[in-house]
Amino acid sequence: MTGWATVSRTLIVAALTTVLTLTAWVLLPLSWGWDAYTVTSGSMAPLVRPGDVVIASPGAGSGPRPGTVVVLAPAVSGGEPVTHRVVERLPDGRYRTQGDANAQPDSRLVTKAQLLGVGRIVVPLAGTVRLHAGRAAPVAGLVLIALSLAIPQVRRRFRYAGRHRLVAVAATGVLAAAAALPGTGAVYTATSATATNSWKASYFYTAAVKASGPVSYWRMGGTSPSPVADETGTTPLTLYNSPTTGVAGAVRADPNTATRFKNGTGPSYAAVTAPAHSITGPLTVAAWTDAVATTNWRLVFKGSPNAGMINYLLSWSSDGRDMRFIVDFGTTRQTALGRWPTGGGYHFAVGVYDGSALRLYLDGVQVAAQPVTGTITGYPALPLTVSENSATTGLTGSVDEVAIWNKALTATQISTLYALARQ
């Protein structure tokens, strides 16, 4: 056998293997009752591209959790299904969805009945012919067969010419199957653990925070001495006294990093002064940290420690055993206090004022509630700090994913954020 014949045979076997593999990954799940959709838009490229095929199990079971990739019924009659990710389950049972590459969540909220299926597998490029050739794909396959059978020189020269015909027949099957698949107009992001793209959580936490409408959201992944970007585009945090950047973050499936602060001589901290952070009504403040406090270290503070003025404060107790959410209502100071988790690693602290009580959540669970009503004392000219410019009340530890809202997040939203970060 000549060198060219060997190369030709190798290429044919490779083509046959690829075609049959793609065919199996598309058709086998269909035999289980699953559905296949060809991705027709590139809003989530490059991780999933137009021409990939999404395999989805029908229905939504008891309801998808945030982070689940779902196929939605068309928004309008005659439209295409939409493949996006659930970022929030609302108290009324509806779902908020978003494409991972989109800056904003989808404008429509969907019910469970509008969920056509749950994404299970993505087969790369399996729908490319359907995407570009549409219903002409089977015709293209017939042309391949005709060309294969019409070249007798190939059969005379290479005794394994039957493989050419087999490749053409298999290709026709793939083209015909792909042409029959419905399209899906929006695509999703997923990282791949295997060649067949197993689902893995990534960036869901960030999408959910942005979808909830914070006043400011700092991911804490900046590079000192550069300011930490505000994901809302408004007020970056300035880092002081060279905290350590680029340390491991709190969100497990996200490569974004955190910032590590230290107290003692020359304490490091972050600060910004903006009137938007002076909140006098319902509010939420949240942050992740791995600090193990020994005294009343400050985590997030809007106010002035020297003047005793507090708009809102997440701080440990004097013995470091409890987390406190402290807010001033005129001349009255109110506190919600709960025991800080004893396990190492990152923990999630959230303080909420909802108009009827101060609430403290640790790791997604409410641990304290202090009934109170009234107007919070605002201090628009005072800074918001992460840690503090103090040798004794600044913290030593890493801080990640700090966010402020001028509204009260619900218990469901807070537990969802915790679950997204930990999956």
Predicted confidence (pLDDT) at residue 168 exceeds the cutoff of 60: no
Same domain, 122 and 172: yes
Same domain, 361 and 293: yes
CA-CA distance, 324 to 313, in Å (whole number)?
8
Same domain, 334 and 232: yes
184: CATH? 2.10.109.10
Percent of the chain with pLDDT over 70: 70
Q: Which of 74-88, 143-157, 281-295 has the highest mean pLDDT?
A: 281-295
Q: What is the pTM assigned to this prediction?
A: 0.60
- Other beta carbons within 10 angstroms of residue 65's beta carbon come to 13
End residue of a domain, out of 147, 171, 192 = 192
Same domain, 153 and 212: no
- Other beta carbons within 10 angstroms of residue 202's beta carbon come to 20
Same domain, 122 and 107: yes
321: CATH? 2.60.120.200
Same domain, 333 and 353: yes
Same domain, 98 and 113: yes
End residue of a domain, out of 177, 192, 207 = 192
DSSP 3-state of 329: strand
CA-CA distance, 208 to 369, in Å (whole number)?
25
Same domain, 80 and 173: yes
Look up the domain containing 108 and give its range.
Answer: 1-192
pLDDT tens-digit readout, 252-296: 878 889 999 999 999 999 999 999 999 999 999 999 999 999 999
Look at the chain and report how many structural domains it folds into.
2
How big is the chain, counted in residues? 423
pLDDT at 201: 40
Predicted confidence (pLDDT) at residue 32 exceeds the cutoff of 70: no
